[in-house]
Amino acid sequence: MSKASERLAELGVTLPPVPKPVAAYVPFVRHGQLCILSGQVPIRNGTVAYTGQAGREQSLEAAQDAARLCAINAIAVGAEAAGGVDRIERVLKVVVYVASANGFTEQHLVANGASNLIKDVFGEAGAHARVAVGVAKLPLDATVEVDVTFVAAP
């Protein structure tokens, strides 16, 4: 399998700068090799690109795109935490929160937007445990929020 940086280039993905926290937290905490990220919302060029609830303001496909964008932002933060994207050795867990309209039950499919990108970038090292949860609202009215736990090279 190619290195993560090569896979990102093949996929046409450029990692953005790490978004600045909008409240009292840090983008990540590193403890030994463990990199625990704060939740990432679908920010593109400094603004939330997808707002509102899946199943109401956003279609399933748009929510999947939002989850993919969250994963790109999470990989950017993980790369900063690890000292470079190619120093990320493993993806342990992905948690996906989906702002969901009443009756929307496809959170697991929304989460695939993040999971598929992570697997595409990291290959087998990107296979991860996952939780997908529907919620009423997310910060900044984001449609999706993703948090990831990575293992960095020592």
Q: Which pLDDT score is estimated for 59?
A: 98
Structural tokens at position 112: 């695939």
List the beta bridge partners of residue 97: 133, 145
Q: Is the pLDDT of residue 1 over 50?
A: no
pLDDT band at 22 (very low <50, low <70, confident <90, very high): confident
Taking the whole predicted model, whether its pTM rises above 0.95 is answered as yes
pLDDT in tens, 120-153: 999 999 999 999 999 999 999 999 999 999 999 9
Q: Do the Cβ atoms of 132 and 31 come closer than 8 Å? A: no
Instruction: Looking at the structure, give the CATH architecture of the domain made up of residues 33-152.
Output: 2-Layer Sandwich (3.30)
The count of residues in the chain is 154
Exposed (0-12), middle (13-18) or buried (19+): which is 145, by Cβ within 10 Å?
Answer: buried
